[in-house]
Every structure is written in C-alpha cells, then in structure tokens.
Chains A and B, each alone.
Chain A
Amino acid sequence: MSFSISRLARQALLAAGLVGACTAAHAQDTFRIAGLVPLSGAFGILGENMRRGATIAIEERGGEVLGVPIEVVWDDTETSTQVAIQKATKAMARGVDMIFGEASSTTTLAIMKLAEQRKVPHIVTLSADDRITGADKSRYTFRTSNNVAMEVAALLAFAKNQNLEKMYIVMADYSVGRDLAKILETELPKNGIEVVGTEFVPIGTSDYAIILNKALESGADGLSLVVVGADVATSLKQGADVGLGEKMTVMGLMLMDETQGMVVGERGSVGINSTLRYHHTQDSDRNRDFVAAFVEKYGELPNQYAGEAYDGMSWWLDTVDATGVFDKEAWIDAFEGSVRDSSVEGLKVMRACDHQAEQVALFGTAVPDPSGELPIVMEIAESFEAEELFAPCE
C-alpha cells in the first residue's frame, strides 16, 4: 500500500515539476500566447480554422515579435464555456502575454472578464455579440472583426436592396436572438418590408422541416434565417428538399460560406445570402499573400474564420512590435486608435472608445463552383462601407 502511494505521489510531483520547469525557464524571453479555441464539438471546425489563420500570421513574421520567439499554446475548449473558463484560468495562472479567442460569444464574454481581472490583452476575431465591445467592454479586450450590429445593418440594407415586400423571421431561441428579432421587427418596416411572422427555435433542434414549411406558406418573399452552430446545416439541408432557396430570398448572419456548403451540399446552398466576415477573393496585396501562404501550408483556401483570425493576429503583433517594449499596458495604448490600412479587408480602424474595429461588411451569395471542386463558392454581392454601418464614437 505504502509503495503504491509513494509511487503515485512521485508521479504527481513529476507532473507538477514538468509544468513548473517549463514556466520557470522563460521570464521575458518569449512572447506567450494562449490560443483558446474549440477544436472539438460543434464549433471544432471554427476553432481549427482560427488556429490555422493565426498560425500563418505568426509564421509570416518568422515566429518572433519584439525580438523574442512567440510561443503559442492551443487549448481545446471543447465547445463548452465551462471548459474554456477552466483552460483560460489555467493559462492565466501560467502567465501569458495575450489571449486569443474564443469562437462562441458566450465564452468570449466569460473569458474577457478573466482577462480584465488579470490585465491580459485579449483579441477577439470571431465572436460578434455587441456586449463584447458594448455593455461589457473592457480595457483589455479588442475585437478586430464584425459585431452583430453592423451585420444586422448590412442585413437590413441588403433586404432593402432586394426589393422584398414581406419577411419571415426564423430565430435561434437565445438571448442574443431575442434581441435581434426585436431589432429586425422594428427596423424592417422602416425599410418598407412587412414582417409576417417570427418563430423562435430552440438551439439544437433536429428538424426544421415544419418551421421552414410555415415560412414558405406565410406568403413572405424573404426569409431571415438566424440560427447557430449545427442548426445552420440542419435547416438549410432540410430547406433544400422543398426548394427553399428558389422560392424565397433567404438571408442570414454567417449562414453560408464554402465550408458550410460542404455540409449542406449544392442544392441547399445555391442562392443563399449571408454576411461574410472575410472572403479570400477580397482585393488587397496582403490578402493575396495570405491566401497564397495559406494554400501552400494547408492545401485549401482560407475560410472566414481563418481570414479574420489571421487579420486580427497580424494586426495585433505588428502593433506590439512597433511599441518596442515588453509592456502589456503600452501595447493596449498603442492598439487603441490604431489604423490598419493594409488589412486583408482594406482599411480597419480600432476605435479607442469601445475597442471595436471599424471596417467594411460583406454580403455574399452562394453560386455553383465553376471549377466543380466544391459544392458552392461565395460571390460577393454587396459591400457596405464602414460609414454606413457605424455610429461615430461618442
């Protein structure tokens, strides 16, 4: 008995010692990044691409910033806020110089509280919840990608440009969804579009056929489909059966892109309109370089999660490098108000007031892939300038 206990103790100490040795070794001679992204579960595909995009950003600068090597530890948050918080707390206990992630807004909101407490810079490149740079904004968290407000503004503008008359809303039943529905219900009529029905659907619903059927029979010519996670594929795939895309103008937030098209298939995807955070066809020098590097490393085109991750990470690292000092507060001061004229999406400005990047918003439509390799590719249908989307800082 005593033999086994001592063996166990030795193992425990060994495990403890290993971690201890790692952290003691580098004080300020590496730049340590905690990459908190889902690598398994429903959002695994998002996290994996975020990791790839950020990796390109780090590699293109030779894996160094401020003259020291960058050390990234990617932690799988398993698509669970609970797990993410555990990993984040652990990462901060390890002492990191910045946190990158997460995908889900809920998780990001929880992580940013921790980052604020520990005064660690936190870069968000995907989560779009307005609270991240709104009600809950913090000195340490920046978002280099779209927020919901601008995406909704783009959606409203797009709906108006389509000359729609009647809109049906299918909304994921969670707090953000409830708020969004209210916004759409008040704003659409102002653009001359009547809302003929709103349906809240629990997240994780396995069958959307009935709900889509209700939308089809409502007499609406437009459908705002705002669902999250696996429900996107479920709803569109089942919409394909009844020719949803042909009968209504379907639009949504992050509803369709090349990755999603692979799950849904050509039939359910063609004609679906969606906001796009980023697209590999965007016309800028940096984007061409990034796409080339990405294709070379991973053998496929970067999707929006990868593109936005790359953009945020490279912008941040460039800013840090420019300060020339190893000081988190100095980096934050420098990033506030930073202007990025060479982002993959053109001009981006980091607003000092709320840490939200001002940038363009894209709206894309899925069309069959001319090369036939993928089920669909996205074609940028409309692009909205920052001035249309953002109210100036107060």
Chain B
Amino acid sequence: MTRFWTRDFLIALGLCVLLLAAPLVTRNESVFFLLSLIVIWSIFALAFDFCFGRGGILSFGHAAFFALGAYGYTWATMDLGLGFGAGLAMAILCGAVFAVIVGLVGQRVTGLYFALLTLMLAQLLAIIMVTRLRRFTGGDDGIAGVPRPMFGGIDFFETVNFFWLIAAILLAVVVTMHVLNRSPLGQAIAGLKQNEERARQIGFNTARLRLAVLSISGAYSGLAGALLGALLMYVSPQLLSWKVSGDVLIMALLGGTGTLAGPILGVTLFELLKEVLSSYTEYWYGILGITFILCTIFLPKGVVSLLLGRDKSR
C-alpha cells in the first residue's frame, strides 16, 4: 500500500502496453478483432471485479449494466445523433444509474441473496426489454448499424484504429482504477469488504458506500458495453443473458479477483483458450469446462497468483 507502483499495477500496465504494441507485430484484422474483444471484456471484468473483488459485493446480474451501456450508447448516437464521446457518457450514465437502482432496491439484502436479486432483476429487465420495449430495443432482433466513432479524420471502421482507441481506454481504466483503489474512497471500500460491520461502527455510511461501489462498477460496465456495441456495430437484448453475467464472473475469478492484472489475464486466457481450442477440436466446450475445474482447484487465487506470488496485495 505504501508504494504507488505495486507489482500488480505494473503487470496490468504491462499487459495494456503489450496489447497496444500488438499492431506493430501483425496487421492481421482478425487478430485485432480477437484482441478488441479481449480489451472490451477486460474492462468489463475489471468493472465486475471492482464490485466483487474490491467491494465484496457478489453479483450475478452484471450483464444488465453491460447491456444498458450498449443500449445507452446506441440510443445516444443513433436516436439523438450525438457523437462518440457523448455516447460513451450516456453509456456510463445508463450503467451507473441502473446499478444505483439495483443497489437501492436491494438495500436490505446482502451476500448470496443480493447476488440472486441482481440475477432476477437482470432477468426481469431482459424480459421487459424484449417483450415490452420492442420499440426502443429492437426486440429479439436487436439493433444493427450501431456507429463507431468519427473524429480526427481517422477511419475507425478499420479494426486496427478502433483497437488502438479501445486499448487506450483500457489503459485509462486501469490507471483510474488504481488511483481510485488508493484513494480515501478506495480504502473505505476495502474496509467495507473486509468488515462491513466495523466500517459502519467507525462512522462510514456503508449503505452509501455500497451504492458507490455499485455505481462505479456499473459505470465501467456500461463503458465496456458501449465499446462492444461499437465494435460489433450491433446490440441486442441477448447481452442481458445470464450467461454474460456468468462469463464475466468466470473470467474474473479465473484471472484472480481483487487485483488489476487478474481480470485482464483471465479474459485473455479465456478468449485465447476458446480461440485455440475451437480451431483444433469440436469438443472445445468440454475441454474449457475441465480447464475451469482444474484452475479452480489448483489456482484458487487465479492465474495472476503465479505472477504475484503468495503476497498478492503488494
């Protein structure tokens, strides 16, 4: 805690730099596409882990924040005709606002029950968005033609350029999160996770702290959702599926929670594994499952523990 340049932070930065440097090695578009997915899901996994690994709040419904971010961006850019920056702002707002709503609704509920509540709220939102709000969500069909950014005369339809942009955003996310974790608020959140009762007793308004955790996590999730919408140029309520919430949980835990490098590593491993396995075997799904089981048993602190050693907080 004393040093600013913790090993975890350095590794996370290193991963970002590695990603940013990828275009120097290859010019292959499909590689960038894969890397773009890794970048976006890394932001999402970091957002999820801010909630779970930092704030100690388990959620099975993070897909809702992610999807609302994607839709917020879509509405801002397609319906309101706003630019990329305003679109991202809208996405962040949508994610954060819904997270606050979830937090307010679930004020009296904690632990596993809160996790189940988030799952059910996300399901409820999914059903309403598919069946009752077709006009705004495109129903099962979703909305195609979500724009990518346009500024500085750069063609962001070139996957490389878009990749550079989102990799820079990932870098910004990593840095801001690190700063946030070391800030008074970050310390208060750490206190909330380690001992909520005591945090309340020494004078923290833990209810409000939980809302802060959720809204920050929701905001980052919304940002990630918007970037995915822009990458695919498509959004649909399938983003709300509980599988999305499950995926991000798996990725974050696989990599190692409560760290910055862990979620990024988890996402990278997950996506690369999927990519490599599915090109070699039809049964990649099952092999992925076995890999998870083995990792959970033998690397309970995540892949990142291999790099951080036993003393992971330093």
Contact = CB atoms under 8 A, between A and B. Distances in A.
A346 B285 CA distance: 41
B134 interface: yes
Nearest to A105: B141
Nearest to B282: A39
A19 B31 contact: yes
A94 B275 CA distance: 14
A72 B69 CA distance: 36
A311 to B, nearest CB: 26
A86 to B, nearest CB: 6
B186 interface: no
Interface string B150-170: 000000010100000000000
Interface string A1-33: 100110011011101110110010000000000
B37 A86 contact: yes
A174 B272 CA distance: 35
A80 interface: yes
With most chain A CB atoms within 10 A of its CB, the pick from B18, B31, B139, B276 is B31
12 contacts: A1-B307, A19-B30, A19-B31, A20-B31, A40-B285, A80-B241, A82-B232, A82-B239, A85-B232, A93-B159, A114-B233, A117-B157
A94 B30 contact: yes
Interface in A103-135: 106, 109-110, 113-114, 117
B232 A94 contact: no
A173 B139 CA distance: 10
Contacts of A15: 31, 272, 275-276
Contacts of A80: 238, 241
Interface residues of A, number: 39
A165 B159 CA distance: 58
A20 B145 contact: no
B33 A93 contact: yes
B33 A90 contact: yes
B30 A1 contact: no
A280 B33 CA distance: 41
A113 B30 contact: no
A81 interface: yes
A179 to B, nearest CB: 12
Contact of B139 (A40, A82, A175): A175
Contacts of A191: none
Interface residues on B, range: 35 or more
B14 A5 contact: yes
A16 B25 contact: yes
Contacts of A5: 11, 14-15, 18, 307
A367 to B, nearest CB: 34
Nearest to B157: A117
B32 interface: yes
A20 B32 CA distance: 11
B28 A20 contact: yes
A76 interface: yes
Nearest to A13: B25
B142 A106 contact: yes
A113 B285 contact: no
Contacts of B31: 15-16, 19-20
A113 B144 contact: yes
Nearest to A80: B238
B140 A106 contact: yes
B234 A85 contact: yes
Contact of B134 (A12, A113, A175, A203): A175
A19 B33 contact: no
Given A11-B272, A12-B22, A93-B159, 6 more contacts: A5-B14, A80-B241, A81-B234, A113-B234, A114-B233, A174-B139
Contact of B236 (A81, A86, A95): A81
Interface string A243-283: 00000000000000000000000000000000000000000
B29 interface: yes
B144 A86 contact: no
Nearest to B139: A175
